[in-house]
Chains A and B, each alone.
Chain A
């Protein structure tokens, strides 16, 4: 198996793979920022006292969670033009990824916010803190700490999901593997290298998450 592995070709295509890695990185970072924004807004709306708003956002979250990302991606890719909206492929991809991941992030953030015990909020009220002050000084500092590990987990999922963008002809890491497969007919070289580079991102994020969790136990003993 290894003797069939052509390292020379791999070396020739290295710039392409690195470009793919870079593209995957910035597509993921942009989608992650979008997803965080969507998640925070959706979480706020979900917890709001306006029943209609809360229900609408609930329906959005459930819909995203019960349908595959690929179907959502195609929905925007084939659907937006019929609404007269023409976006470049990578923007469509970032939009779909942000809306998809945002729904999961909303649930994670909500769990974090709800984990702060009601007594603390009441205590804040008794001190005469306003809603914003309670959020800023009591709820968020505690909620953020415990939401970071699941958020990082969701970030890992997002990086892997970004591979699907190659199917709407966005250039990224998986696309680089497809290119070497079709140009040189070397799928092993192409896709194993792709997989290896994804593993690199995965381990970096996972190590950070483990480190954070350890720190967390140190800061707030359970």
Chain B
């Protein structure tokens, strides 16, 4: 019997690839926007801007203290009540972006604060303005602490993108959910789903590990 199901599953493989493409599209878009937002927020947070800093603190805490599923529900079900209608794809990208942005903000802020303050003071003494200090002195050094956890965060983002399947985005997880109604072999169907995620995430995990080792050995003293 399971051979028959396996054959059926192989026949619906193109749908899984379509779902995988959706997963990659949703997480890719959120990854880009989340990095931009999180990076900017991180620089602001590390610079100790008075009011904005407090606001960012609340934002980051809310994002880190509540489940991503609840955030997706808030954006998908509550925003329409306030007159802002988003389709499932947009809602998914917005919620993933805001979610990842908060974590990336923390990573970037942590990286910047890890650069010894003497560096910034020396740059100030050399007459560099704030922007030049960031661009030429702080960020290039902070990058070494930021990069490994950032790639790790991308892996989490891709995995968390599976949650947006519940608001109707047809990503791999949702394709699996549809398929299991037709082919009642959950181990097989979700084994395949897992395999597809694995194919995307596993290389990234190794990249993160590799970066961590490489950057650490380069800058042992930092």
A residues with CB within 8 A of B: 1, 4, 62-63, 65-72, 74-83, 156, 160-164, 166-167, 174, 177-178, 181, 187-188, 191-192, 194-195, 198-199, 202-203, 206
Contacts and interface: CB of A to CB of B under 8 A. Distances in A.
A8 B191 CA distance: 46
B136 interface: no
A199 B81 contact: no
Contact of B74 (A63, A195, A202): A195
Interface residues of B, number: 45
Contacts of B61: 199, 202
10 contacts: A66-B202, A66-B205, A70-B162, A70-B165, A71-B162, A74-B180, A78-B189, A187-B73, A199-B65, A202-B65
Chief secondary structure at chain A's binding surface: helix
- Can you list the 5 inter-chain pairs with the closest CB atoms, starting with the nearest? A78-B186, A79-B186, A202-B65, A163-B67, A187-B77
Contact of B67 (A65, A79, A174): A174
A178 B161 CA distance: 20
Among A70, A195, A199, A202, the one with the most B-chain Cβ atoms within 10 Å of its Cβ is: A70
Contacts of B78: 187-188, 191-192
Given A67-B197, A187-B81, A191-B77, A75 B190 contact: yes
A198 B67 contact: yes
Interface string B72-87: 0110011001100000
Interface of B: 61-62, 64-71, 73-74, 77-78, 81-82, 155, 158-163, 165-166, 172-173, 176-177, 180, 184-191, 193-194, 197-198, 201-202, 205
A203 B73 contact: no
Chief secondary structure at chain B's binding surface: helix
A69 B159 contact: yes
A192 B81 CA distance: 13
Contacts of B190: 71-72, 74-75, 78-79
Contacts of A81: 186
B69 A66 contact: no
Nearest to B158: A68
Contact of B193 (A4, A71, A194): A71
B25 to A, nearest CB: 16
Contacts of A202: 61, 64-66
Contacts of A192: 74, 78
A67 B162 CA distance: 10
Given A160-B66, A163-B70, A198-B67, A75 B191 contact: yes
B201 A66 contact: yes
Contacts of B177: 74
A75 B162 contact: no
Nearest to B184: A82
B37 to A, nearest CB: 20
B194 A67 contact: yes
A68 B177 CA distance: 14
B163 A82 contact: no
